[in-house]
Chains A and B, each alone.
Chain A
């Protein structure tokens, strides 16, 4: 192998004045609707018993009464996909420098720089896993199917009525379409089929959907009503997990927070938004979704190290013969919509 170019840095003829490391952090807006549950098992499961809203029928005084039974439920077992991202520590540009510097008295300085560098590299690897989790959450909210590459997709079987395809009658960019009727259809589904009972809902809009909504004349006209205060559209406010709140509107008997999520991930050189630009997703303010983490395969080591549970498991492997020092970040997450009918997705634009 030839000598690396950076080994010939001319420190006396130039001065390094700034370094820019492009390290976009992963935001967690979509994951924030999912409660974290960690387990030490290979699989995770949920048990769901769907309910009803039946009404008692009156009986005569000389009647045995109506016998009610609660006997049906569904158990869903899931083996979460595993993510395993790693770096080779001894390939880091400072690794051999630090080894060489041990004899020079500057070893500690280089060693600190090496540790910082490795931590940055691992952080970027871990961010890939967090993006995979965020995409899982996006998949659940958009289609109900967690799309995987090397495992079978995990399909939560969302009802067809919760996945509304494009139709001109729901296109916010058409002046005669009243967007609030489209919102109301979604809210009625979540209330009637999903049995959600809150009064406040979150709508996560694709960027183009937000623009079409704000440009819609019927939506604008309702905002102009004198002495009525149905809607409150404000300047965008980004929250700590990356979502942007645009205000709150009233729809029928409900209030709806309008959110966008202008975050993207890289796919084959293109930047893909987590939330489809042409779609609108509505969920209750208080969700019943889980981000579950099953156990990463581990061994009980000789030193008595006990296998760990958690979102991300960091491990190091040393192979003295091959002079290899690998650092791995592993995780087995799965986004689960426990109350699967409390999500409604509409393709608003064509």
Chain B
């Protein structure tokens, strides 16, 4: 997915930084699930967010290692940016298998790949589900 960020915008000059890197790098499988927003305000989640699932409702939430409702357990990686207004719900797509760019993962708060859930690090939990985290080496850069 390409993203463009405007870094200069005047009446006669427009500079856009373009990032055409991918999150999902191959051999991926996906599934759909529902996210329901009960936070009281609009929520925007970025592609690459690691997601958990509430056991009782089956609804998705961004994974939080301190949760006890089931959303502390990894179920997949969000594939697209999603914005959901308060008290609305939306079908979203999750990557559940294949190669994923490690540096593109988006964590909920203080989590990282070394965060521990039920005695196991997140990176091992993710790997155990069939997702191969791949470190990438970016060889290009934006201009001044």
A289 to chain B, nearest CB (A): 14
**Partner of A79 from B12, B17, B140, B142 at Cβ < 8 Å:** B12
Q: When the two chains form their complex, are residues A74 and B18 in contact, meaning their CB atoms are under 8 A apart?
A: yes
| Residue among A71, A77, A79, A154 having the largest count of chain B Cβ atoms under 10 Å | A71
B13: CB under 8 A from chain A?
yes
A70-87 interface with B by 8 A CB criterion: 70-81
Q: How far is the CB of B25 from chain A (nearest CB, A)?
A: 7
Indicate whether A69 sits within 8 Å of B137 (C-beta atoms), given known contacts A77-B13, A152-B13: yes
Q: Which residue of B lies closest to A158 (CB)?
A: B144
> Is the beta-carbon distance between B141 and A50 smaller than 8 angstroms?
yes
What does DSSP make chain B's interface, helix, strand, loop or mixed?
A: strand
A interface residue count range (under 10 / 10 to 19 / 20 to 34 / 35 or more): 20 to 34
* Shortest Cβ gap from B77 to chain A (Å): 17
Q: Which residue of B lies closest to A341 (CB)?
A: B144
The answer to whether B11 touches A151, judged by C-beta atoms less than 8 angstroms apart, is: yes
Q: How far is the CB of A80 from chain B (nearest CB, A)?
A: 8
Query: Which of B17, B135, B139 touches A74 (beta carbons < 8 Å)?
Result: B17
8 A Cβ contacts from B1-22 to A: 7-8, 10-22
Q: Which residues of B contact A156 (CB under 8 A)?
A: 144
Known: A67-B134, A67-B135, A74-B18. A51 touches B13 (CB 8 A): no
CA gap between A75 and B17 in the complex, in Å: 6
Q: Using a Cβ–Cβ cut-off of 8 Å, how many residues does chain B contribute to the interface with A?
A: 27
**B114 at interface (Cβ–Cβ under 8 A)?**
no
Residues of B with C-beta under 8 A to A48 = 143
User: Does A340 belong to the interface (CB within 8 Å)?
Assistant: yes
- Is B18 in contact with A79, judged by CB distance below 8 angstroms? no
* 5 closest residue pairs by CB, A with B: A71-B21, A74-B143, A157-B144, A48-B143, A50-B141
**Which residue numbers of A lie inside 8 Å of B, CB to CB?**
48-52, 54, 64, 66-81, 151-152, 154-159, 340-341
Q: Could you name 24 residue pairs across A and B whose Cβ atoms are closer than 8 Å?
A: A49-B140, A51-B140, A54-B137, A64-B134, A66-B135, A66-B137, A67-B25, A69-B136, A71-B138, A71-B140, A72-B18, A72-B20, A72-B138, A73-B17, A74-B16, A75-B16, A77-B15, A78-B13, A80-B12, A152-B10, A155-B13, A157-B143, A157-B144, A340-B144
